[in-house]
Structure 1
Amino acid sequence: MGFFSRLFGHDAHDEEKMANIRRSIRSEIDIAECIEAHMKWKGRLQSYLDGTSREQLDPMVICRDDQCVLGKWIHGPALNYFHDDEGFHKLRSDHANFHFVAGSVVKKVQERDLAGSDALLKNEYARASRDVIQDLAELNKHLHRQDQ
């Protein structure tokens, strides 16, 4: 079975129920906004690394995956739909990793390890960001299927 298939991979006779679930989820969270917010982190981190940011970033807050809009949703309401879905657990894991790596980038900058921070940003962070965005794009595809 594919990503998020436990919820969205049901037979056609369940289509009305699935359409209602998709509408309910869309009313709770805007996945496209979450993708955009996570994409903006690269610029924020790069500015912080370059010393051009006016933000005071706290790695102990950034590393928490339950503080952003997406994190609050995946640790809360999303469990009502996806608690046993393999794809959802991948999203949760990838999202936690994203925040851990983003926090590590900031911590390295604060330790004045700019080369280490730059390497993290270009490698582990880039992979973590790509993973979260791919997971969210897959979920968004399911959420915006034509409701019948």
Structure 2
Amino acid sequence: MNLDNAVETHAQWKTKLRSAIVKQEKLDHACLSRDDCCELGQWLHGVGQQRYGRFASHAECVTQHRAFHREVAKVAMAVNAGRYEAAQELLASTSDYAKVSSELSVAFLRLRKEARI
């Protein structure tokens, strides 16, 4: 798995969520709330765990990835409930979503450095 692509894919979630707000689309909350449904989560809990689980930075990635999905799930719940303004606020630059998204990127940089990926 290319970690650059994985991090970029997660960064694109903000655009996807904003699009769902604008289009008032329903989101799959059950899947979005889980950290093992996406390609990155499957890698973290599978091959990534086998190869890099010994590194503290891997555990940090798992923790931050789980937190990221919790924040995505909050946005999905707001969108699905028709609370579009609240959903927008959950994506604001000062939101928990923004903080966790940034921390996830940093965690992957640490893993790449520590594991020499």
TM-score (norm 1): 0.69
1:116, 1:76 → 2: CA distance? 35
1:83, distance to aligned residue in structure 2 (A): 3.0
Aligned-pair distance for 1:78? 1.8
What RMSD over aligned residues (CA atoms) do the two structures have, in Å?
1.8
Bigger radius of gyration among the two? 1
Alignment of 1:86-125 (within 5 A): 86-122=56-92, 123-125=95-97
Name the residue aligned to 1:45. 17
TM-score, length-normalised on structure 2? 0.85
**Are residues 1:126 and 2:98 paired?**
yes
Give the deviation of 1:76 after TM superposition: 1.1
Number of matched pairs:
114
- Contact 2:57–2:110 (CA<8 Å) still a contact in 1? no
Change (3 A) 1:138 1:83: closer
Which residue number in structure 1 is paired with residue 6 of structure 2?
34
Indicate the residue corresponding to 1:77 in structure 2: 47
Seq. identity, %: 25
Unmatched segments (≥5 aa) in structure 1: 1-28
1-structure distance, mates of 2:70, 2:89 = 15
RCO higher in structure (CA 8 A, sep ≥6): 1
In structure 2, the gaps of 5 or more residues are none
